[in-house]
Amino acid sequence: MTEKETLNEANAGLVIYDKTDRSEVYEHTFTTPQALDEASKTFPVYEAEKKSSARHFVSLTPASVKVSKHSNLNSVKSPNYQPRKQITEWSKKSRSNMVAVLCSLDYLPMFESGSIPALITLTYPKNFQKLVPSAAEATRHLKLFRQRYERAFGTIRAIYKWEFQRSGSPHAHIFLVPPQVPNFRSWLSKTWADIVGETDPVEYQKHLKAGTGLDYGEALRSTDPKRLAVYFSKHSSPNSNGQKEYQNQPPDFWKEAGSVGRFWGRWGLKTAVATVEVSEEQAKFVSRTIRRWARANTKPRKVFVWRVNTKTGELYKRTVKRRPKRMPRIQGFCAVNDGSKMGNELARALQARFVSGGE
């Protein structure tokens, strides 16, 4: 057997993507929790007024800066309050929550082994309607995959996201550091095929050969939490006119089942957050500074807007380029490449504006 045939045999049951076999050193810039704590200590010391009705905070994470406000008054439910409903779509709020969480995770424990990360893709056979009739069943499959992985290789630290093909067939993307063991690719394809449970022998063999993917090349480009969050959200815009929006549209029979489940999640990863209290004026200053920084460092994007024909009075749609808005009010978050570095710069600006210059 030739070397190429041996490699093909070892990779049997897997769709091999470009650059899958790269073994170069992975150089990342993930911020440590200690660096975030040190950055938060450089902020001007502020003692909250006891009689104040609200308190303001700046939170630093590995890849974001957040400004928040908490009321000291007794919390009272809004008259418009509605209990949490079943998940039926990939909303703008869901996308924002995913980016915020992915930017706040401490990924360093994932790389303790010193190996490079990979992007795993888990797909379904063509008769997916029978094998995964609901989101609950897809969630059960992913739970089984995690359990079998941990029994075989130990604790799994990863993030995942569900997407869909034009036919409605779901597939999961998982970012992790695969174990450096022989025949992991064969284990991956065999395990997923057994979990899905295709009963037709011919279709089972097809799924065994093309049901999973392992891509190191794509993962190597995710060298910091922001890039990772951007990759997972690049096709996640709630814009219904987006070319990739179909990837966020679950099949109708999932919706009819009552819920489409969670679109994303994390395994074995904790958040790293350092929070410091500031005055209302300081919170406004931080918000304005981040808003201007984001505008200067964000490329315009195409959006659809409605216009009126002044001659006929008819409405028509056109595309324009606009920069995304960050922190339009005093609250919100912004993704950055290094949360500790941005925190140090904000602290320096606050010292110059409110301490050296006088508040």
Residues 16 and 39 placed together within one structural domain of the fold: no
**Together in a domain, 230 and 260:** yes
Nearest one of 226, 220, 222, 221 to 104, comparing CA atoms: 226
- Asked if the structure places residue 282 within a domain, the reply is yes
CB-side neighbour CA atoms (13 Å) of 45: 0
**Cβ pair 90, 263 in contact under 8 A:** yes
Q: Using one digit for the tens of pLDDT, what is the confidence trace for 142-160?
A: 999 999 999 999 999 999 9
Mean pLDDT by 10 residues, the chain (359 residues): 44 44 66 94 83 84 92 55 62 84 93 87 93 92 97 95 90 93 92 94 92 86 82 57 68 81 91 94 94 86 85 88 79 91 95 75
Beta carbons of 214 and 13 less than 8 angstroms apart: no
Q: Quick one: tokens of 272?
A: 């790293």
* pLDDT tens string 7-44: 444 444 444 444 444 455 677 788 899 999 999 999 99
**99 inside domain:** no
Of 267, 301, 327, the residue at which a domain comes to its end is: 267
Domain boundary among 267, 285, 302: 267
Supply the pLDDT for residue 260.
80
In a domain, 314, yes or no: yes
- Tell me the CA end-to-end span of the chain in Å, nearest whole number: 77
Residues 198 and 118 in one domain: yes
Residue 95 falls inside a structural domain: no
Are 193 and 149 found together in one domain? yes
Mark whether 26 and 157 lie in a shared domain: yes
Residue 100 covered by a domain: no
Q: Which of 267, 286, 314 is the last residue of a domain?
A: 267
Is 148 found in the same domain as 42? no
Please say whether the dihedral angle defined by the alpha carbons of residues 166, 169, 175 and 181, taken in this order, is positive or negative.
Answer: negative
Burial of 70 (0-12, 13-18, 19+ CB in 10 A): exposed
| CA distances (Å), origin 8, targets 23, 62, 155, 215, 276 | 18, 40, 29, 16, 55
Do 192 and 294 belong together in one domain?
Answer: no
Predicted pLDDT of residue 239: 44
Give the tens place of pLDDT for each residue, 167-193.
889 999 999 999 988 889 999 999 999
179 shares a domain with 311: no
What Å distances lie between residue 230 and 63, 71, 101, 121, 223, CA to CA?
11, 32, 12, 18, 11
Contacts of 262 (CB under 8 A, 6+ apart): 87, 139, 162
Residues 134 and 147 in one domain: yes
Shared-domain flag, residues 254 and 306: no
Distance CA 148, CA 143 (A): 9
Instruction: Give pLDDT, residue 111.
Output: 87
Q: Do 46 and 7 lie in a common domain?
A: no
Q: What pLDDT was estimated at residue 91?
A: 75
pLDDT of residue 224: 81
Residue indicated by tokens 């999961």:
172
Say yes or no: 256 and 337 in one domain. Answer: no
Q: How many CA atoms lie within 13 A of 177 on its CB side?
A: 19
Domain with 15, as residue range(s), is: 3-30+107-267
Q: Which residues, including other chains, have CB under 8 Å from residue 257's CB and lie 6 or more apart?
A: 133, 134, 135, 136
Q: How many domains does the chain fold into?
A: 2
What DSSP string describes 287-344?
HHHHHHHHHHHS--EEEEEEEE-TTT--EEEEEEEEPPP--SSS-EEEE-S-HHHHHH
Residue 111: half-sphere exposure toward Cβ, Cα within 13 Å: 20
Residue 131, Cα to own-chain centre: how many angstroms? 27
Please report whether residue 79 resides in a domain. Answer: no
- How many C-beta atoms lie closer than 10 Å to residue 14's C-beta? 21
Residue 228 in any domain: the answer is yes
In a domain, 206, yes or no: yes
Give SS3 for 252.
helix
Which structure tokens are listed for 255?
Answer: 């919706």
